[in-house]
Amino acid sequence: MRMEKRKQNKLAYKKRTQWFFIAIASLFILLLLGYGVVLLGGKIIANDEDLILDLKTTIRTEEGDVIGTLYKENREFIDVDSLPEHVKEAFIAIEDRRFYEHQGIDLKSITRAVYRDIIAMSKVEGGSTITQQLAKNLFLSNDKTWSRKIKETMAALYLERELSKDEILELYVNEVYFGQGIYGIQTASKYFFSKPADELTVAEGAMLAGLMKGPNGYSPINHPDRALERRNVVLRSMEDAGFISTEQRVTEEEKTLGLDVEEPKASNPWVDSYIDLVMKEASEKHQLSLEALQTGGYDITVYMDPEIQQIAYSEMRNDAYFPGNTEGVEGAFVMLDANNARIVSVIGGRDYQIGDLNRTVVDRQPGSTFKPIAVYGPALMQEDVYTPFTLIPDKKSEEYNVVNANGEYKDEITIYQAIMESTNTSAVWLLDEIGIDYSKGYLEKLGITFEDDGLSIALGGLTYGVTPLKMAQSYQAFASGGDITSATSISSIENRNEEVIYESKIETENVFTSQVAWNMTEMLSGTVQSGTASSGDFNKALAGKTGSTQHTTVDGATKDAWFVGYTPEYVTAMWMGYDTTDKDHYLTGGSSYPTSLTKKILTEIDRQTEREMSSDFEIPENVEPLPEPIELPTISDISANYEFGGFSIIRGNLNWNGSTDERVVYRIYQETDGEDKLIDEVKGVTQYTIDNVWFENNKYYVVPYDPNTRMEGMKSDSVTFSW
């Protein structure tokens, strides 16, 4: 019996021993698994993409003036190696004195925090290291829960394995929030002290480090006394940590906060149109989305001229230039460098704000401003067929229903006159002659494509229209001697590592010969001086063309009004109209308004800036200028006399009154029963001799002829020879 009991006790002891070892083993396994989860779980919590901090994008002029920033978080990055040691020590002293000793978590600090949490029966104190704070800021929320704390620990251990201490500190000082909408020590230093972070003093660095406890509660702007007290706490911590001496601490504590707060930047609505255009170009040409621009830390240099931009913005707000039947008349203005199509000014609307409709890139029907690029420029490229003085019809046609705006017709007109007077009938006839496909080929070279294929193209009658920016770019081909350059606002783009990822290069394509481009410049200059574009005042060189479109529902009203032109320095395009066109929204004036306003802007640029405008266009080499127009005389006095002389025995002399212009050609005709016979022509003289003339009754007359226009004047009276 006793043996049996001993046996049972031994068996029970053995089972207890087995369960003990099983429990110990299970606990070890659980601890091992827990350690593995904590050690490796950080990889799951941490997203490596979050290690790339959001940085603001800066947009600046070529002179270095910042005109705008784009960001979600206002942050500018600085390398930790660039920071003074005393600045790094300030953060370490107050936030994590054992930063360089622990592996992401500080057990002593955690034990103290846990004890106080238990006493308070809630999560009241953090024991977070700099690494843990960084992990929380990058990957987690601000909830004060045990779950978040565990995840924070896991992520901190992961960061310590993946990054060096300096890399962790660099991320930390660049990531943290300093209040006032400011992220990162570089941005904070520039805001509070108007200096980069590498120039911070001991006291200044201590003040910024003190903001980590509560950037709003210790704001040196809103609570300077509390900020000063907190700064001194940081200085004492630096002393305790051995970073500064007692003497240094006392010296620094005696200093004021020494703020030199960056003045709030005044709202600059005059740049908003340009910034929006830059964002559009960055997206379409360089694949930089708005998200990328707001977080990528790019530095974009642009071609905007601030002085010109402000002048254009100011003048575009003048209601006197915008004739509408009601409020809301809009406008768009763009200016390019004539030599390289760099965009120096953009006004997308009269009261433009970031994100508004940028009308410089909105299609509108261009009206007669389309004629030079769709009809006359391409036609003159057929130099053996058309010249500026070639006569073309100016009359109504049974084949198409086109009328001139003024209701007047000359039957025939030179191309030069057709451009100056903007005759619709001539433009449509000429487009029909050269061919629509031929015209569209040139327009495509100019960057303009569309599906329309009717003769209304000659008058700018397009389904969707053309943007002011493209119209300016097209006229740049005339201004630059026949070559076109793609318009651009961006000079260069640097990434966050200061690496140039884009740099603008001038690439041109030839569209027109230099002769055609110069002839167009001369004719468009004439249009400004005495043609349809003569409204307004500008006493320097200017070539250009007006355009307007009829309102579809209101008789006599205008839907779109244009002027596109250029000086030797700049190319401009201006549009006026309503965003929505209906019976209640129409212009009460035409193209004279954008023409006058453009000239006003050019005048102010010439007057207010050092960019003096040229008085004349400079003729290129190897180009022939257009001759002055020839005025054909009326021959009112003609005589025909016989005389003896030479071997001809009898000859006849014709004499008549003519012009002092020696370019006039005189054609001598003999009347016949059928078609009169052209027997000869002379140039610049008013006398002609016919040899071997015997007594006859033939009749002769003289007709003045213009070799440029190939047009004859009125014939003289008919005469017969007599003694």
What are the residue numbers of the active site? 95, 368
Q: Would you give the DSSP letter of residue 375?
A: I
Nearest-angstrom CA–CA distance, 96 and 110: 12
Nearest to 362 by CA among 326, 328, 398, 334: 334
Q: Which amino acid is at 4?
A: E
Helix (H, G, I), strand (E, B) or coil at 622: coil
Q: What DSSP string describes 170-237? A: HHHHHHSEEETTEESHHHHHHHHHSS-GGG--HHHHHHHHHGGG-TTTT-TTT-HHHHHHHHHHHHHH
Nearest-angstrom CA–CA distance, 337 and 348: 18
Nearest to 196 by CA among 145, 262, 251: 262
Q: Which amino acid is at 611?
A: R
66 backbone dihedrals φ, ψ, rounded to 5° = -75, 125
Evaluate the CA torsion angle 65, 70, 72, 78 in order and state its sign. negative
Q: What is the dihedral of CA 120, 125, 127, 128, to 10 degrees?
A: 140
Q: Find the helix packing angle between 146-162 and 130-139, rounded to 10°.
A: 110
Helix (H, G, I), strand (E, B) or coil at 335: strand
Contact (Cβ atoms closer than 8 angstroms) between residue 436 and residue 457: yes
Contact (Cβ atoms closer than 8 angstroms) between residue 598 and residue 563: yes
Q: Would you give the DSSP letter of residue 132?
A: H
The position carrying tokens 């010969």 is 513
CA distances from 472 to 96, 608, 632, 679 (A): 60, 23, 38, 51
565 backbone dihedrals φ, ψ, rounded to 5° = -160, -175
Q: What is the dihedral of CA 614, 616, 622, 624, to 10 degrees?
A: 160
